[in-house]
Structure 1
Amino acid sequence: MTPDQIGFALLYLGLFLLIGKWIRVKSKVLQNLFLPSSVIAGFLALLLGPQVLGNFFDGGFWSTGVVTDEVTQVWETLPGLLINIVFATLFLGTILPNLKKVWDIGGPQLAFGWTLGWGQYVFGILLALLVLGPFFGLPPMVGALIEVGFEGGHGTAAGLQGTFEEMDFAEAYDLAIGLATIGILSGVIIGIIMINWGVRKQKTEVIKDTDETSATQRAGIIEFENREPAAKMTVRPESIEPLSLHFAIIGLAILVGYFILEALIWLEATIIGTDLMTYVPLFPLAMIGGILVQLFFTKMDYTNILDRRMVMRIQGLALDVLILAAIATVSLEVIGRNIVPFLLLALVGILWNVFGFFVLAPRMIPTYWLERAIGDFGQSMGITATGLLLMRVADPEAKSPSFEGFGYKQLIFEPFLGGGLVTALSVPLIFQFGPVPFLIFSVVMLAIGILVGLFHFGKKTA
Structure 2
Amino acid sequence: MSAEMVGFSILLIGILLLIGKWIRVSFSVFQKYFLPSSIIAGFMGLLLGPEVLGALVSFFTEGSTTPVSNGLFPEEVLESWSTFPSLLISVIFASLFLGKKIPNLKDIWLLAGPQVSFGQSVAWGQYVFGLLLALIVLAPFFGINPMAGALIEIGFEGGHGTSAGLAGTFQELGFSEGADLAIGLATVGVVSGVVCGIILINWGVKKDKATILDNPNDLPENKLRGITEPEDRPIAGKMTTEPESIEPLALHMAIIGVAILIGKVLLEGLIYIESVTWGAWTDTEIMSFLPLFPLAMIGGVLLQLLLDRYDKYKLVNRKMILRIQGFALDFLIVSALATLSLTVIGNNLVPFLLLAATGIAWNTIAFVFLAPRMIPDYWFERGIGDYGQSMGMTAAGLMLIRIADSKDKSKALEAFGYKQLMFEPIVGGGLFTAASLPLISQFGIIPVLIFCTILMLIWIGIGLFYFGKK
Asked if 1:410 corresponds to 2:413, the answer is: no
Other-structure match for 2:62: none
Alignment counterpart, residue 330 of structure 1, candidates 330, 335, 340: 340
Alignment of 1:30-429 (within 5 A): 30-58=30-58, 59-272=65-278, 273=280, 274-429=284-439
Secondary structure of 1:275's aligned partner: coil
Please give the alpha-carbon distance, in whole angstroms, between the structure 2 residues aligned to 1:127 and 1:404. 35
Displacement of 1:54: 1.1
Aligned amino acid, residue 136 of structure 1:
F
Could you tell me whether the CA contact under 8 Å between 1:179 and 1:346 is conserved in 2? yes
Other-structure match for 1:448: 458
Displacement of 1:209: 2.3
Aligned amino acid, residue 257 of structure 2:
G
Asked if 1:17 corresponds to 2:17, the answer is: yes
Aligned amino acid, residue 206 of structure 1:
I
Displacement of 1:277: 0.8
Query: Which deviates more, 203-212 or 409-418?
Result: 203-212
Query: Which deviates more, 378-387 or 250-259?
Result: 378-387
Please give the alpha-carbon distance, in whole angstroms, between the structure 1 residues aligned to 2:30 and 2:86. 27
Displacement of 1:5: 1.4
Displacement of 1:3: 1.9
Secondary structure of 1:333's aligned partner: coil
Displacement of 1:204: 0.9
Displacement of 1:76: 0.3
Secondary structure of 1:413's aligned partner: coil
Displacement of 1:345: 0.2
Secondary structure of 1:51's aligned partner: helix
Displacement of 1:141: 0.6
Could you tell me whether the CA contact under 8 Å between 1:279 and 1:424 is conserved in 2? yes
For structure 2, the residue ranges without an aligned partner over 5 or more in a row are: 59-64
Aligned amino acid, residue 205 of structure 1:
T
For structure 1, the residue ranges without an aligned partner over 5 or more in a row are: none
Report Cα offsets for 1:83-103 as digits up to 9, x if no partner.
000000000000101111101
Q: For the aligned residues, what is the CA RMSD?
A: 0.8
Please give the alpha-carbon distance, in whole angstroms, between the structure 2 residues aligned to 1:364 and 1:332. 36
Please give the alpha-carbon distance, in whole angstroms, between the structure 2 residues aligned to 1:179 and 1:2. 31
Aligned amino acid, residue 458 of structure 2:
I
Q: Give aligned-pair identity as a percent.
A: 58
Aligned amino acid, residue 453 of structure 1:
G
Displacement of 1:56: 2.6
Please give the alpha-carbon distance, in whole angstroms, between the structure 1 residues aligned to 2:233 and 2:286. 49
Report Cα offsets for 1:316-368 as digits up to 9, x if no partner.
00000000000110100012221000000000111101110111001000110
Displacement of 1:306: 0.4
Displacement of 1:270: 1.6
Displacement of 1:228: 1.4
Please give the alpha-carbon distance, in whole angstroms, between the structure 2 residues aligned to 1:382 and 1:154. 8
Report Cα offsets for 1:139-181 as digits up to 9, x if no partner.
2110000000000111111111111111111110111010000
Report Cα offsets for 1:90-117 as digits up to 9, x if no partner.
0000010111110111000000000000
Query: Which deviates more, 309-318 or 270-279?
Result: 270-279
Please give the alpha-carbon distance, in whole angstroms, between the structure 2 residues aligned to 1:187 and 1:282. 23
Displacement of 1:414: 0.3
Aligned amino acid, residue 33 of structure 1:
Y
Aligned residue pair count: 460
Please give the alpha-carbon distance, in whole angstroms, between the structure 2 residues aligned to 1:276 and 1:2. 33
Secondary structure of 2:236's aligned partner: coil
Report Cα offsets for 1:399-454 as digits up to 9, x if no partner.
11111111111001000000000111101100011011110100111011100000
Displacement of 1:229: 1.2
Could you tell me whether the CA contact under 8 Å between 1:383 and 1:418 is conserved in 2? no
Other-structure match for 2:61: none
Secondary structure of 1:436's aligned partner: helix
Query: Which deviates more, 321-330 or 260-269?
Result: 260-269
Could you tell me whether the CA contact under 8 Å between 1:378 and 1:387 is conserved in 2? yes
Please give the alpha-carbon distance, in whole angstroms, between the structure 2 residues aligned to 1:373 and 1:84. 22
Secondary structure of 1:257's aligned partner: helix
Please give the alpha-carbon distance, in whole angstroms, between the structure 2 residues aligned to 1:164 and 1:266. 22
Report Cα offsets for 1:247-276 as digits up to 9, x if no partner.
000000000000011111111212322532
Please give the alpha-carbon distance, in whole angstroms, between the structure 1 residues aligned to 2:234 and 2:384. 27
Could you tell me whether the CA contact under 8 Å between 1:353 and 1:380 is conserved in 2? yes
> After the TM superposition, which parts of structure 1 deviate over 4 Å for at least 4 consecutive aligned residues?
none
Please give the alpha-carbon distance, in whole angstroms, between the structure 2 residues aligned to 1:220 and 1:30. 11
Displacement of 1:2: 2.1
Please give the alpha-carbon distance, in whole angstroms, between the structure 2 residues aligned to 1:270 and 1:164. 24
Could you tell me whether the CA contact under 8 Å between 1:202 and 1:208 is conserved in 2? no
Could you tell me whether the CA contact under 8 Å between 1:49 and 1:67 is conserved in 2? yes
Give the TM-score, by structure 1 length: 0.99
Could you tell me whether the CA contact under 8 Å between 1:125 and 1:142 is conserved in 2? yes
Secondary structure of 2:256's aligned partner: helix
Displacement of 1:208: 2.8
Please give the alpha-carbon distance, in whole angstroms, between the structure 2 residues aligned to 1:333 and 1:209. 38
Displacement of 1:222: 0.3
Displacement of 1:212: 1.4
Query: Which deviates more, 82-91 or 201-210?
Result: 201-210
